[in-house]
């Protein structure tokens, strides 16, 4: 008996959902920093990100560019990638992207903030065994309402949270964050 591999179909449906999500997030918005990343990943991981993209278009959930009025930016130390990253993560249940971003910000940094809009949007492309799909990475601008940091990450991936006037060299998506900051605080 021949086994039919449905990965190509899943990848196609995921790409269609990502396209729809991208347009819902960006239509009518100017001054959003956009970027693209490419990842070659193993088959099991490919299936998982394709399923997440199929379900809501964003396999990595939502993140925030959280800033103080002075321009300092909140970053968290993600032990899984050994880098400073923007707070954020996957959606829980029927959360909106904004709700997920605010919840993750509270968990990873202990910060309350007001989302002011979309600051960046990434197109994250995944490739595996001749299959390709993509997902959106929405990154919201958020003005800090509180500034004392406290990490309470239930996943245990985040070990530290700090405000930075100058971004560390080991900041993921550093160039794009600097483009956003230059635009935001020009």
**According to the model, what pLDDT value does residue 59 have?**
92
**According to the model, what pLDDT value does residue 28 have?**
83
First vs last C-alpha separation in the chain: 63
Q: What is the largest CA-CA distance in the chain?
A: 65
**According to the model, what pLDDT value does residue 1 have?**
41
Cα–Cα dist 68/52, whole Å? 32
**According to the model, what pLDDT value does residue 153 have?**
84
Q: Where are the domains of the chain?
A: 7-184
| Residues of the chain above pLDDT 70, percent | 98
162-172, pLDDT tens digit by residue?
Answer: 999 999 999 99
* CA atoms in the 13 A half-sphere facing the CB of 140: 25
Q: What is the CATH number of domain 7-184?
A: 3.90.79.10
**According to the model, what pLDDT value does residue 14 have?**
97
88-137, pLDDT tens digit by residue?
Answer: 999 998 999 999 999 999 999 999 999 999 999 999 999 999 999 999 99
| Closest listed residue to residue 170, CA positions, set 107, 97, 77 | 77
pLDDT at 2 over 80: no
Mean pLDDT of the chain: 93
pLDDT level of residue 30 (50, 70, 90 thresholds): confident
| Closest listed residue to residue 60, CA positions, set 87, 23, 89 | 89
17-28, pLDDT tens digit by residue?
Answer: 999 999 999 998
The predicted model gives 35-62 an average pLDDT of 95
**According to the model, what pLDDT value does residue 137 have?**
97
Cα–Cα dist 145/126, whole Å? 36
């Amino acid at each position: 008996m021949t086994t039919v591999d449905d990965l190509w179909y899943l990848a196609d449906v995921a790409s269609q959902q990502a396209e729809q999500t991208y347009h819902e997030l960006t239509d009518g918005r100017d001054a959003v920093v956009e970027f693209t990343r490419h990842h070659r990943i193993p088959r099991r991981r490919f299936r998982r990100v394709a399923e997440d993209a199929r379900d809501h278009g964003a396999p990595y959930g939502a993140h925030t560019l959280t800033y103080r009025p002075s321009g300092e930016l909140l970053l968290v130390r993600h032990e899984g990638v050994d880098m400073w990253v923007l707070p954020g993560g996957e959606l829980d249940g029927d959360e909106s992207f904004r709700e997920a971003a605010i919840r993750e910000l509270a968990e990873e940094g202990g910060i309350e903030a007001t989302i002011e809009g979309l600051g960046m949007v990434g197109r994250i492309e995944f490739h595996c065994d001749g299959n390709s799909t993509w997902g959106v990475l929405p990154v919201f601008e958020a003005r800090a309402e509180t500034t004392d940091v406290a990490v309470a990450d239930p996943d245990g991936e985040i070990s530290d949270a700090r405000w930075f006037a100058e971004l560390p060299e080991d900041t993921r998506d550093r160039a794009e964050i600097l483009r956003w900051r230059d635009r935001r605080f020009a």
